[in-house]
Amino acid sequence: MIKLTAKELRVTMSQALQKKQLKKNPIYIIVDNVLDTYNIGSIFRLADAVAVTKVFLCAGSETPPNHRIKKASINTTEWVEWEYQETALAAIAKLRREVPDIQIVSVEQNDRSVPYDEVAYTFPVALVVGHETDGVSKQALDASDAIAESIPGSKRDNRSVACAFKFVE
């Protein structure tokens, strides 16, 4: 297993063979129009920590190489597979075509949402997180198998992207 310190991660470029040897979990992350590059970097750090298969950056989300994403991610963009899709719906459609029986779970406060710890998760799973103010797009919500509320019982509209994935760990 490849273990690098934060300092090593910042300066180490991955090699295709090394990336291929990393064990991946059947988890995908769809980033639906998240604009803050530091949020995107944090998602890459989390993706690396839990060994997700791939991150999809969609719509207005910045993509690597971006110095702020690199800084916030501690260069994990070099180790986590990612790709850009025009919309979250396009990423969902691609996953449904390519990954049999994938479950799509959006992280959002919504009429249909249930507390994150009450969702019956199955693998493979794709988690969708949305724009810091507007949340997950309506199209992606409509295409989701479940909608998980990241902070059950919260009375305020919480769209903290960093909080949205806290339950993944």
Among 27-36, 95-104, 126-135, 155-164, the least confident range = 155-164
Burial of 117 (0-12, 13-18, 19+ CB in 10 A): exposed
Q: Are 148 and 113 in contact (CB under 8 A)?
A: yes
Supply the pLDDT for residue 46.
92
Per DSSP bridges, beta strands 103-107 and 146-149 are parallel
Domains and their CATH numbers in the chain: 20-168 (3.40.1280.10)
Supply the pLDDT for residue 61.
95
Distances (CA, A) of 134 to 12, 22, 109, 138: 36, 35, 11, 10
Predicted structure pTM score: 0.86
Supply the pLDDT for residue 59.
96
Q: How far apart are CA 45 and CA 20, in angstroms?
A: 18
- Per the model's pLDDT, the better-predicted residue between 161 and 46 turns out to be 46
